[in-house]
Structure 1
Amino acid sequence: MRLVFGLVLIIGVGLAGFAVWTAKGRFDQYQTVLASQQERLAQAVDVAEIFVMAKEIRYGQELTQEHVRKVRWPADAIPEGAYTTLEEIFPETVEGALRTATRAMDANEPILKAKVTAPGDTAGVASRLKRGMRAFAISVNVTSGVSGLLRPGDRVDVYWSGPIQDREVTKLIQSNLSLIAIDQNADMDEATPTIARTVTVQASPQDVASLAQAQRTGVLSLSLVGASDDTLATAIEVDQNRLLGIEEEEIVIEKAEVEEVCTIRTRRGADVVEIPIPCTN
């Protein structure tokens, strides 16, 4: 009997110890989970709702409600021009008029005002012009058009070549102009090389007048600006002499010395007579 009692006591103590060990393990797990949640709360950021693409869309395609969806986005990282309400994208005041994509957008990409037109507008050159700017077409060929490497969205410098006072001169006339169309194509995502006949640039009215005068009086050539280049080219002018390193001779015309003459005036009756005399100084 005592043996049975002792055996039961040992088993009970063992079970109690196992229960304590199991409880301690669970408690440690809870502590770990609690610490992890507290760390996540400490790292939590404010979020806001914006609209992104539910599926991809191509240039010139109309934007419908099936293309968009709402997501939560970090409030301090919302892109400029993002839409936060469905009414902004599809205003009721313009019934049936849809926006058009001015460039291709992939799924989950934020919908920005710079990437779509106004309701009812088409994705043409006019939708790409900034306020106060104008479109101007420049005639080019395989040489002056950078051998078909230009794309809408690139930036170029414009050089003019022509005669100035009996000299053939090449001069930089406009710097860092934005291309908005190649021939009749304004798609920024177009990747097929094209030997363009015209390129359309975005310029101020004053610059348009300068380009028009330059195109009428000489030959225009384009130079592609690097995508990450933020510098502006300064005034550049090259003629044949500078190109070949020929120094122009400076012609100096010496003035002949004029002999100084001194006179005295005397009156003879009603007449005044000047008589030359040697100069004393």
Structure 2
Amino acid sequence: MTLRTVILLVVAIGIAAFTALFARGWANSQKMAPGGEPIVEKQMTEAVRVLVAKNAIPAGTFVKPEHMSWQTWPEEGLSEAYTVEGRSDMTRFEGAVARTAVSQGQPIMDAQVVHPGERGFLAAVLTPGQRAISVPVNATSGISGFVFPGDRVDLVLTVKFQSKNKDGEMQRRHATRTLMDNVRVLAIDQKVEQADGTVSVAKTATVEVTAEQAERIALALEMGQISLSLRSLAHQNADGTDFVDASRSESKRYTLDAQLFGVMGGGGGGREVHVLRGTKAETASF
């Protein structure tokens, strides 16, 4: 190798080294902010799917599958309170009640709902402004255990009282009237959700009423016995208005014992029976 070749080789290596150092310095300078601070490169993170409200869920609403959906969510904005697809399932929220309103697209969190059996569940089920009051029932007045939470019933009051017949004698009478229509059943005994298909005779039924209706029920329980009359699930017309029973008028919402048997004396036209005893005949009025 000649001297000239060696010199050219050394020069080439020097130029290459200088170019590499220059390129490295330029690259580092591009990573520095104007103030001299290094710029941190943002790393692309994989997005996850979070359980959110598909539509707005008002407070007091039973959460159903159609109320929820999975939505893509950036992982840097993820909270430990969120329900992430693959780590948890939406079924754990089914049957819960929204403690507070959940806006559309907002992640659904445990703090926003209350589950059956948890403290405060019944209060969350109540419609705002309504009250819950319990009514004692038995196998007869409770329709043999075939009333479940969520059903609609009428409350029927039966009372006993004393009145004078046409002869001025005191007589025990009975009367029944529909106290309230279309009342929602919140719970049977201490269960606020339907059982696994088994039928059991309840001791109490908790219903949802207004404050004034709660007062009337409390008074009615001191006067007599309240029975439940189960209503059809189709308690509304096709246009969304409440169904009205045309066979009943507001002026005739009670039934007296005399109307059933026609044998109790007093103001209503009775019947006469002619009785023959030997040669004697007499007329008995009922």
TM-score by length of 1: 0.50
Between Structure 1 and Structure 2, whose CA radius of gyration is higher? 1
TM-score by length of 2: 0.49
